[in-house]
């Protein structure tokens, strides 16, 4: 009990959102990709960047290096605001299996018009997207810095259960336990 209380008082143990990554995979370049970029910019307010295919898939007509998707990375307040609205598209429900062992989670949105306050533009069409949320604690910078890079200690890493508790408390999300898969 004393350990749980000390964790809440210690500012280095507080969990925060590192980034929210929004991805639309179109599967082909050209006009559909440009429409997806406009939709992503409309939803997030940031300019998306293209993602290229890693290998050629002849059956789908995809060449290696061809742009087939777009992505936006949100940080800070913009990330938290987007996460709140995008959770509304999935009725504030996330599967427990969507969490990895480090507390990060991801969920999919079938149609972008399900996001609250998003209007349908017939010229652009409807796109599905993946939302990935990365959680961290203060001090995680040691593994990203360029000078004297180091590992984050195992006791400082976020566990799956801590990530689930954070999402329940911070966003009032319902965690759905998966049935037998």
- Residue 4, pLDDT above cutoff 60: no
* pTM as predicted: 0.86
- Residue 122, pLDDT above cutoff 90: no
What pLDDT does 107 receive? Answer: 94
What pLDDT does 80 receive? Answer: 93
How many whole angstroms separate alpha carbon 167 and alpha carbon 29? Answer: 36
Domain ranges of the chain: 15-176
Residue 96's φ and ψ, nearest 5 degrees, are -65, -30
Q: What is the pLDDT of residues 16-25, one digit of tens each?
A: 999 999 999 8
Q: CATH assignment of 15-176?
A: 3.30.1440.10
Q: Is 86 helix (H, G, I), strand (E, B) or coil?
A: helix
E strands of 35-112, at which residues? 49-52, 67-74, 93-95, 105-109
- Report the 10 Å Cβ neighbour count for 22: 24
| Residue linked to tokens 């990330």 | 79
């Amino acid at each position: 009990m004393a350990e749980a209380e000390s964790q809440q008082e210690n500012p280095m143990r507080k969990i925060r959102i590192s980034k929210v990554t929004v991805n639309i995979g179109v599967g082909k370049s050209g006009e559909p990709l440009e429409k997806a970029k406009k939709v992503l910019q409309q939803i997030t307010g940031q300019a998306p960047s293209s993602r290229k295919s890693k290998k050629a898939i002849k059956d789908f007509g995809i060449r290696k290096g061809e742009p087939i998707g777009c992505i936006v990375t949100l940080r800070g307040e913009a990330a938290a605001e987007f996460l709140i609205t995008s959770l509304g598209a999935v009725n504030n429900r996330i599967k427990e299996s969507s969490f990895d062992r480090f507390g990060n989670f991801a969920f999919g949105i079938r149609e972008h018009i399900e996001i609250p306050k998003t209007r349908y533009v017939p010229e652009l069409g409807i796109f599905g997207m993946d939302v990935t949320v990365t959680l961290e604690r203060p001090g995680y910078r040691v593994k990203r810095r360029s000078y004297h890079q180091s590992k984050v200690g195992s006791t400082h890493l976020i566990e799956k259960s801590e990530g689930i508790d954070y999402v329940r408390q911070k966003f009032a999300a319902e965690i759905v336990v998966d049935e037998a898969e």
